[in-house]
Structure 1
Amino acid sequence: MTKSTITKGFIAAGLMNTIGILFFTKCFTNDVIPETDPVVMSYFGLLMIMVWGAAFIAVARTYDQVKWLVGVFIIEKLCYVIAYVYWFSNNSLQEVYDKDLVAGIFYSLYGLNDFLFMLFFSYVFIKLSKIKYKLKTK
């Protein structure tokens, strides 16, 4: 992956976390999402997801200077993947769809979205680790 592609990946992750939250929560007017998972997806939790998105965008052009922050992004995404698997194994997706189509789509996608961006951040972290290692061995 080129530096330009990776930069776009960080921006995409940030937009998914910011614009995506605004869309799926209908600008924080959709009560179904926080009611469905009041711990992880409370209104405060949703706001914090947007803050993470802003962080992804903030380092989009300088990610190669903050390898360990990219590592933190991996952990952040892993936490949401685990939360999603736990939620999905203990709840009915159909019940969410019955209450609100948009919330149902959100709960159908957010775990996969976080998993894919976790893989993306992992790729970037590994790539940065290899670059730093090559520089140290020369």
Structure 2
Amino acid sequence: MQPGESKRRIASVTPHALAPLRPVIRAFLCAVVPEATALDETGWSEFERLMELALGDRSPAIQRQVRLFLRFIQWWPMVGYGRPFTALDPAQRARFLSSLEEHPVERIRLGFWGLRTLVLLGYYGQPEVQKAIGYAADARGWEAPR
């Protein structure tokens, strides 16, 4: 290791490791941010790239947990709705996600909030979305002219 190099090992996510779960991720995002339904294919690609980039900084164990939680979200609605998450209508998706958000099992709540944070990063991290909502970050913070 050279002087100044970080000792921290950066994990890498297999490119497109989330591809098999793409419909679940997209349905989850659209339930959390309804405006995401307007994304074009370029927007979806950027969303997925940002998510995979963020996951690449996480350990393989965390990456597996995210994939497992996405599968849980896809199939758990079979119990209450008789259909997987991607087959639910928007109101049913919202009710289901609300039940996860306030679930009595802490692991499920943590999974929900972690995944929500990840998809919000993927959506709002896009320059086009930032521009659309009027977000103009400035390194000067509050000192920047408005």
Is the pair's TM-score, using the shorter chain for normalization, greater than 0.5? no
The structure that has the greater radius of gyration is: 2
Structure (1/2) with the larger helix percentage: 1
